[in-house]
Chain A
Amino acid sequence: MLQETGTEWLSQEVKTGTTIIAVEFDGGVVLGSDSRVSAGASVVNRVMNKLSPLHDKIYCALSGSAADAQTIAEVVHYQLDVHSIEIDEDPQVRSAATLVRNISYKYKEELSAHLIVAGWDRRDGGQVFATLSGLLTRQPFAVGGSGSSYVYGFVDAEFRRGMSKEECQQFVVNTLSLAINRDGSSGGVAYIVSIDEHGTEEKVVLGNDLPTFFDQ
Chain B
Amino acid sequence: CSSLGTYDLSASTFSPDGRVFQVEYAMKAVENSSTAIAIRCKDGVVFGVEKLVLSKLYEQGSNKRIFNIDRHVGMAVAGLLADARSLSEVARDEASSFRSSYGHDIPLKHLSDRVAMYVHAYTLYSAVRPFGCSFILGSYDKDDGPQLYMVDPSGISHGYWGCAIGKAKQAAKTEIEKLQMKEMTCRELVKEVAKIIYIVHDEVKDKAFELELSWVGEVTNGRHQLIPEEVRQEAEKYAKDSLEEEDDSDEDNM
Residues of A participating in the B interface, judged by any CB pair closer than 8 Å: 83, 86-89, 91-92, 94-95, 97-99, 102, 122-123, 136
Contact = CB atoms under 8 A, between A and B. Distances in A.
Given A86-B113, A102-B100, A102-B101, 4 more contacts: A83-B102, A86-B110, A99-B102, A122-B143
Contacts of A97: 103
By Cβ-Cβ distance, the 4 closest A-B pairs, closest first, are A98-B103, A95-B102, A94-B103, A87-B110
B208 to A, nearest CB: 43
By DSSP majority rule, is chain A's interface helix, strand, loop, or mixed?
helix
A122 B143 CA distance: 9
A98 B102 contact: yes
Contacts of B100: 102
A87 B110 CA distance: 6
B109 interface: yes
Interface of B: 100-104, 107, 109-110, 113, 143
A127 to B, nearest CB: 11
Contacts of A123: 143
Nearest to A95: B102
B113 to A, nearest CB: 8
Contacts of B104: 92, 94-95, 98
Contacts of A83: 102
A98 B104 CA distance: 9
Contacts of B109: 87-88
Nearest to A86: B110
A185 to B, nearest CB: 32
Contact of A99 (B101, B107, B110, B143): B101
A2 B205 CA distance: 99
Nearest to B142: A123
B103 A136 contact: yes
A99 B98 CA distance: 11
A87 B107 contact: yes
A83 B114 CA distance: 13
A55 B186 CA distance: 38
25 contacts: A83-B102, A86-B113, A87-B107, A87-B109, A87-B110, A88-B109, A89-B107, A91-B102, A92-B102, A92-B103, A92-B104, A94-B102, A94-B103, A95-B102, A97-B103, A98-B102, A98-B103, A98-B104, A99-B101, A99-B102, A102-B100, A102-B101, A122-B143, A123-B143, A136-B103
A91 B102 CA distance: 9
A98 B101 contact: yes
Nearest to A102: B101
Nearest to B103: A98
A86 B107 CA distance: 10
A132 to B, nearest CB: 16
B96 to A, nearest CB: 14
Contacts of A89: 107
A38 to B, nearest CB: 33
A103 B113 CA distance: 26
Contacts of B102: 83, 91-92, 94-95, 98-99
A6 to B, nearest CB: 47
Q: Residue among B102, B107, B113 with the most chain A CB within 10 A?
A: B102
A97 B104 CA distance: 11
